Amino acid sequence: MKYVIGIDLGTTNCALAYAALDSEPVGLFPVPQLVNPGEVREEALLPSSLFLPGALDFPAGSLALPWNAEPAEVVGRLAQKRGVENPGRLVSSAKSWLSHSGVDRTAAILPWSGAPGLQKVSPVEASRRYLEHLRTAWDFHRPDAPFTEQEVLVTVPASFDAVARELTLSAAEQTGCRNVTLLEEPQAAFYAWIERHPGWRERVAAGDLILVVDIGGGTTDLTLIAVTEREGELALERVAVGEHILLGGDNMDLALARAIERELAEKGARLDGLQIHALWHNCRVAKEKLLDPASKAAQEPVTILGKGAGLVGGTIRAALKRSILNAVLLDGFFPEVTSQDFPERRRRVGLQEIGLPYAADPAITKHLAQFLRRQDGSMAAPTHVLFNGGVLHARLLRERLLKVLNGWLATEGKTAVQALEGEDLMHAVARGAAYYGLARRGKGVRIRGGIARAYYVGIESAMPAVPGLPNPLKALTVAGFGMEEGTGASVPDREFALVVGEPAEFRFFSSTSRREDAVGTLIEELGPEIQEITPMEVHLPASEGAGQLVPVTFETVVTETGPLQPWCVARDGRRWKLEFNVRERIPA
């Protein structure tokens, strides 16, 4: 083993950073990829786009890569480009689908609105193919240090549930990796800041509270990291993590596209679904140009192909104006609200298309207010904020978040928050993952954090049967918030009856807000702050007969890679492991 490799497996883009074990500096790996048919170029990011071509989509031989003369699919920049023209063959947002508990995440469901007859792929398979591209590109450039022989750290949102983490780990292991560790993205971003600032201890002090705001293409992730003191040295501890919020740059690009669509409709131009998809992509490009710090332009041109064949249909020309951009982003996604303004719950239409569960309220500042508001009604008061994610590359949006945050803190009588500046927001997560690999070897600072939520298993109450009503369900805490990776806990003083010898259903739950529930705590009533993850039906073996009830206690192990392993232990030493089910039971 020569390197530690950090991979940001993003919703919109992937990045790879690395560090040699005999020297500490972290470097970025430019990823070779097709940018046009027949043209391979190294780029700093690999778009998380997978295009499944038909027989006539590309000329023969035009998809060749240096390590593969005839790939079956296109990954990266060219896939992203061609997907604008033919969205029915484009797989995107696989990471968001990987976190969607309402679908079977291991089934071939992508592209969700795929072309008829297309052989689809699962969210796990799409993730595997992005990782496979990174692996083969690495091996082509470093044949003396095969990817599968290095330590690989893959990042996931802090809000990913146990199933999504397990599936991400599975995708990495399917590429042949034997030494994979998962790391939460906000922690990785903070590790990158530490790596870039060796004198970080001079910029923070014991008692400080650091808010990490990570807004990428598909998700918004919020985390609080406390600065503590241990044996005379400053230490870091992750103390809170937000819910999984499907809200990011993709939503903003679509909002801009809809604004231009309205302008065109007023002029008599009507767009179909394919044209709106192309406009969505073109608005992303125009938005990034306008938000570039060097840009002084009042607008950026946007073009959409006409509906006719060749040039007959003409080209629809429009422009994304800076005034529209600022109004849509600031008023729609970063409005100035109070710390008491939480996301709105809207009445939903009775019948809906099945798709990604995007956040109903696009106001990111409202989600932030809800995250900072504690259960007792007080507000957590961060002293520093670290921005991460491609969306916050825009100074306009960082300044709005700082203005809103400082307004809340002033109302609470607290000191203004300080921004931790100077980061490469597009690559920080990959860089931080590589640094964490070094820190695990004693060559850096580690953040104490553990798992980002509490986990529970459902326990059926021992009550007389009532016609038409199931017995009430209680929840036993099997892993508490912050339980460290590589540790275990047991509940020796509570016994439960385990059904063995016949199929039985087990139900698992989690919570990001119940941070005080210790292992062994029995919750009598399941409130809205405890969400069900995924049920599983399993036939646990019995020594004799069927339908036995065996008295057991619980043990839980949190592995080094993150997944949970709850065990049921009988008095005679027999043990049954309750794996989280990765093949979802879809609600009827």
The pLDDT tens digits of the residues spanning 241-263 come to 888 788 999 999 999 999 999 99
The answer to whether the pTM exceeds 0.85 is no
Tell me the pLDDT of the chain averaged across its residues: 87
pLDDT at 287 over 70: yes
Strands lying side by side in the sheet with 384-388: 418-419, 384-388, 209-215, 220-230, 233-241, 447-448
Greatest mean pLDDT among 159-173, 319-333, 503-517, 560-574: 319-333
pLDDT at 484 over 80: no
From 418, 513, 468, select the one nearest 211 (Cα to Cα): 418
Of the pLDDT bands very low, low, confident and very high (cuts 50, 70, 90), residue 463 is low
The rounded distance, in Å, linking the Cα atoms of 392 and 409 is: 21
Residue 523 is predicted with a pLDDT of 92
pLDDT at 362 over 90: yes
Of the pLDDT bands very low, low, confident and very high (cuts 50, 70, 90), residue 240 is confident
pLDDT at 465 over 90: no
From 543, 545, 552, 548, select the one nearest 575 (Cα to Cα): 552
Residue 587 is predicted with a pLDDT of 35
For the segment 421-443, the average pLDDT, to the nearest whole number, is: 88
Of the pLDDT bands very low, low, confident and very high (cuts 50, 70, 90), residue 217 is confident
Of 161-170, 194-203, 259-268, 344-353, give the lowest mean pLDDT range: 344-353
| Residue 208 one-letter amino acid | D
Q: Residues with Cβ < 8 Å from 539, sequence gap 6 or more?
A: 501, 502, 503, 504
Number of Cβ within 10 Å of residue 102's Cβ equals 12
Instruction: Please give the residue that has the higher pLDDT: either 537 or 48.
Output: 48
pLDDT at 449 over 90: no
| Residue 275 one-letter amino acid | Q
**Domains of the chain listed by start with CATH number:** 3-183 (3.30.420.40), 203-246+338-344+356-448 (3.30.420.40), 249-333 (3.90.640.10), 454-577 (2.60.34)
Strand pairing of 90-91 and 503-511?
Answer: unpaired
Instruction: Please give the residue that has the higher pLDDT: either 489 or 410.
Output: 410
For the segment 309-328, the average pLDDT, to the nearest whole number, is: 80
Number of Cβ within 10 Å of residue 276's Cβ equals 16
pLDDT at 309 over 70: no
The pLDDT tens digits of the residues spanning 91-145 come to 998 999 988 878 888 999 999 888 788 999 999 999 999 999 999 999 999 999 9
Residue 131 is predicted with a pLDDT of 97
The rounded distance, in Å, linking the Cα atoms of 386 and 277 is: 33
The pLDDT tens digits of the residues spanning 497-552 come to 888 888 777 888 888 888 889 888 999 888 888 888 767 677 777 776 667 788 99
Number of Cβ within 10 Å of residue 453's Cβ equals 26
pLDDT at 300 over 60: yes
pLDDT at 200 over 90: no
Residue 548 is predicted with a pLDDT of 79
pLDDT at 584 over 60: no
From 485, 490, 487, 477, select the one nearest 448 (Cα to Cα): 485
